[in-house]
Amino acid sequence: MDIYLPIANMSVNALVVILLGGGVGILSGMFGVGGGFLTTPLLILYGIPPTVAAASATTQVTGASVSGVLAHWQRDGVDVRMGALLVLGGMFGALAGAGVFSLLESAGQMDTIIAIMYVVLLGGIGGLMARDAWAAISAKKSGQPRVARKRRHHPLVANLPMRWRFYASGLYVSPLAPLALGFGVGVLTVLLGVGGGFILVPAMIYGLGMATRVVVGTSLFQILFVTAITTLVHALTTQAVDIVLAGLLLIGSVVGAQLGTRLASRLPADWLRLGLAAIILSLSLWLALGLGWRPSEIYTVQAL
């Protein structure tokens, strides 16, 4: 069934887009990530203009994170104070990101920069996850319990002035740390169309040293608000939000997310994480190869 996308100015197979959203939704339900990092490159691969892909994927991430936020909220898994600071930082990040976006667009380096950022981010995060998951699995096999990493924040964070208490997170740190983290993730949300969960969660655990109980809920809280703001920023600046494309993706992904949550409770967590790491690493490798390979089209056209 073909459907014409009014903003992307092209027709796509609705079933393919819904299935794509569904697949990403299953992964996001299983691993607790928004899945934007998969949606954007896959949409671009399908032939959607990169700007429209990034903008519409952002809208989809908002919907995919709603049910997660609700669930974590009900069991007190959101540090609202921390979350609000992250959102505030993310708001400024989204605005700054929009500036960077138009700068890169006019210089014609958008696709290269996006691809490089994806390779670096996905490669780094995937590598960390794989190492972590593998260590957990081999510890279980050898029967020796893993030495738990002592929870403390990074020295860089500890040295920041003006400390606040975050009771839910069990922290006493400067509010500048979550503000800066939120800012960075906000920039990425605009540029890459990702929620940033795959950066936020490790940064909260290893950087800030937050209590794991509130990490996922707070990160989803930030993602929900920042992707919503980013959709507005895109609607106002690039005007590239395709509501039909986002709707199709959402139909697939909200259903997929629910299925994924159910699947996740039946599968071993460590192997699951290793699986996600493998997906992320292969995506990163594929994008890296794409940069080095001679592209099928040397020329690209951009309307002025």
Partner 1 sequence: MRRLRALLLLPILFLSIAAANPVLVPDVSQRKIDIVYSFTGAELLMFGAILYPGGRIPTEKADIVVVLRGPTQPLIVREKQKLGGLIWVNAESARFLSAPGYYAIASSRPLDELVDERTAAIYELGVKNLQLSPASSEQPETRRRFENGLIDLFSKSKLYDEQPGSVEISNGVLYRARLAIPARVPVGNYVTETFLIKEGRILAVASKEVQIDKSGFERFVAESARQYPLLYGLVAVLLSLLLGWGAAMAFRRI
CB of 94: closest distance to partner 1 in angstroms?
A: 12
Nearest to 168 by CA among 70, 65, 75: 75
Site track 9-48 with partner 1 (rule: CB under 8 A), x = hit: xxx-------------------------------------
User: 176-213 burial, b if ≥16 CB within 10 A, otherwise e?
Assistant: bbbbbbbbbbbbbbbbbbbbbbbbbbbbbbebbbbbeb
CB of 99: closest distance to partner 1 in angstroms?
A: 17
Measure the CA–CA gap between 191 and 117, rounded to whole angstroms.
9
Residue pair 249/110 in contact (Cβ under 8 Å)? The answer is no
Tokens of 29: 């339900």
Nearest to 157 by CA among 135, 176, 141, 142: 176
Region of 107-115, 150-158, 185-193, 270-278 interacting with partner 1 (CB under 8 A): 107-115
- Which residues touch 235 (CB under 8 Å, ≥6 apart)? 55, 241
In the region spanning residues 172 to 211, those forming contacts with partner 1, defined by CB under 8 A, are: none
CB of 125: closest distance to partner 1 in angstroms?
A: 21
Region of 132-140, 152-160, 242-250, 277-285 interacting with partner 1 (CB under 8 A): 242-250
Residue pair 37/118 in contact (Cβ under 8 Å)? The answer is yes
Site track 113-132 with partner 1 (rule: CB under 8 A), x = hit: ---x----------------
CB of 83: closest distance to partner 1 in angstroms?
A: 17
Residue pair 43/59 in contact (Cβ under 8 Å)? The answer is no
Residue 63 touching partner 1 (CB under 8 A): yes
Q: Which residue, 202 or 290, is less far from partner 1 as judged by CB? A: 290
In the region spanning residues 248 to 277, those forming contacts with partner 1, defined by CB under 8 A, are: 250-251, 254-255, 257-258
Nearest to 284 by CA among 137, 125, 71, 154: 125
Site track 64-103 with partner 1 (rule: CB under 8 A), x = hit: xxxx--xx--------------------------------
Measure the CA–CA gap between 227 and 61, rounded to whole angstroms.
7
Binding stretches for partner 1 (CB under 8 A): 2-4, 6-7, 9-11, 59-60, 62-67, 70-71, 108-109, 111-112, 116, 228, 231-236, 239, 241, 243-244, 246-247, 250-251, 254-255, 257-258, 291-295, 297-304
